[in-house]
Amino acid sequence: MEHLQCLIIGSGPAGYTAAIYAGRANLSPVLYEGIQPGGQITTTTEIENFPGYPQGVTGFGLMEDLRKQAERFGAEVRSGIVTSVDFSCEKKKVTVDGKTEIEADAVIIATGASAKYLGLPDETKYAGMGVSACATCDGFFYRKKNVAVVGGGDTACEEALYLSGICNKVYMIVRKSFLRASDIMQKRVFETPNVEILFEHETRSLFGENGVEGAVLQDTKNGKEVRIAIDGFFLAIGHTPNTKVFAGVIDLDEKGYIQTKSGTQQTNVEGVFAAGDVADPVYQQAITAAASGCRAAIELEKYLRMK
Ligand code: NDP
């Protein structure tokens, strides 16, 4: 069985920052990329709030830079998904892709979070046929068409603005009477003429012959049914942490986020640390993820040194 000093699971800003710090501490970190190499941020268009990029940077560009920086200090980046873990002994065992077993002295979990769906049967029925949770990935297919974005947070605004540049019209379906997004994003949405916000509306179903042709909504102010003609239905209602594989082993909160000991990145298992969105239900920013990856690597180095 292969033995590692430092194993990092996940390749978003948290995982790569941890790899940079662990690499510079001579720990020869190995990082498994997981389902989405580069993490969720690669599905974002422009990142304007990551320090050091005064002109902004694409999600993909930022992750390329972080990967190169980690590799420069000896981190090894591998493709593969961790499918099970056994943290019961001092050496932490993980299985990759259901077959490769590896043991590590210490582990950093940085598996991030994935987009949430409403839970409607039609989302499954029309998966890949009009339903998407990533405007940057799929927006191109809806050129000059009408689409809807569900949600009222920063992600929903960002998706709506991106789609407004490609599509004929963008509806935002918002369940409350206000947006939750930051002021700057709200302002941009309000100022975009081809975005129409349907406040206090909820989606009941989707319809269409060979793909989405429309959505049935309910106006919750008066209970009336509203039908909109759309070809694309984009979800932007938040995220679920990717912690399934750790359930029962690592302490999770009621929403499934990893719980860390106060003021640290340490989980309930000694030598196992968590960083990034997987352990952060609050901030969920690339920069906070990167910062927690740094903290996790520093704590991991100290743990190995004191062992
Ligand atoms: P948020 O949790 O902030 O917003 C989720 C939105 O989806 C809310 O409007 C919420 O409504 C709505 N929603 C949730 N569940 C449902 C449902 N079942 N049906 C209908 N609507 C639903 O998530 P985001 O992904 O937007 O943002 C997460 C974090 O990332 C935030 O801290 C945000 O600031 C940050 N972010 C920052 C960006 C930036 O700085 N440019 C870009 C993207 C994200 P309700 O308000 O009623 O709960």
Cβ of 150 closer than 6 Å to ligand 1, yes or no, is yes
Cβ of 296 closer than 6 Å to ligand 1, yes or no, is no
> What are 183-207's pLDDT values in tens digits?
999 999 999 999 999 999 999 999 9
Residues 6+ apart with CB under 8 A from 98: 83, 84
In a 3-state reduction of DSSP, which class is residue 196? strand
The size of the chain, in residues, is: 307
pLDDT beyond 90 at 178: yes
The closest-lying atom of ligand 1 relative to the alpha carbon of residue 182 is 34
**Rounded distance, CA 246 to CA 242, Å?**
9
Pick the residue whose CA is nearest to atom 47 on ligand 1: 176
The tokens for 182 are 């930051």
The closest-lying atom of ligand 1 relative to the alpha carbon of residue 179 is 9
pTM of the model: 0.82
> What are 90-114's pLDDT values in tens digits?
999 999 999 999 999 999 999 999 9
pLDDT beyond 80 at 44: no
**Rounded distance, CA 67 to CA 65, Å?**
6
42: confidence class by pLDDT, cuts 50, 70, 90: confident
Q: How far is the CA of 1 from the centre of ligand 1 (A)?
A: 43
Cβ of 237 closer than 6 Å to ligand 1, yes or no, is yes
**Rounded distance, CA 45 to CA 36, Å?**
16
The packing angle between helices 183-190 and 154-164, to 10°, is 30
Phi and psi, residue 13, nearest 5°: -55, -35
The tokens for 289 are 């993820």
List the catalytic residue out of 65, 134, 219, 251: 134
Is residue 81 left, alpha or beta, with left meaning phi > 0 and alpha meaning psi from -120 to 50? beta
134 is catalytic: yes
Residues 6+ apart with CB under 8 A from 248: none
Residue type, 105: D
Between the alpha carbon of residue 171 and those of residues 12, 71, 156, 163, 189, the distances in Å are 30, 43, 11, 10, 11
Q: How far is the CA of 75 from the centre of ligand 1 (A)?
A: 33
Phi and psi, residue 206, nearest 5°: -120, 155
Say what the pLDDT of residue 41 is. Answer: 85
The tokens for 186 are 């709200």
Say what the pLDDT of residue 175 is. Answer: 98
Report the DSSP beta bridge partners of residue 104: 4, 92
Say what the pLDDT of residue 270 is. Answer: 97
The tokens for 292 are 């927690």
50: confidence class by pLDDT, cuts 50, 70, 90: very high
DSSP per position, 22-73 = HHHTT---EEE--SSTT-GGGG-SEE--STT-TT-EEHHHHHHHHHHHHHHT
Helices (H), ranges, the chain: 13-24, 59-72, 121-125, 135-138, 154-164, 183-190, 286-306
Nearest to 156 by CA among 126, 198, 127, 120: 198
47: confidence class by pLDDT, cuts 50, 70, 90: confident
Mean pLDDT of 16-31: 98
DSSP 153: S
DSSP 277: G
Nearest to 260 by CA among 13, 14, 63, 6: 14
Q: How far is the CA of 273 from the centre of ligand 1 (A)?
A: 26
**Rounded distance, CA 133 to CA 137, Å?**
9
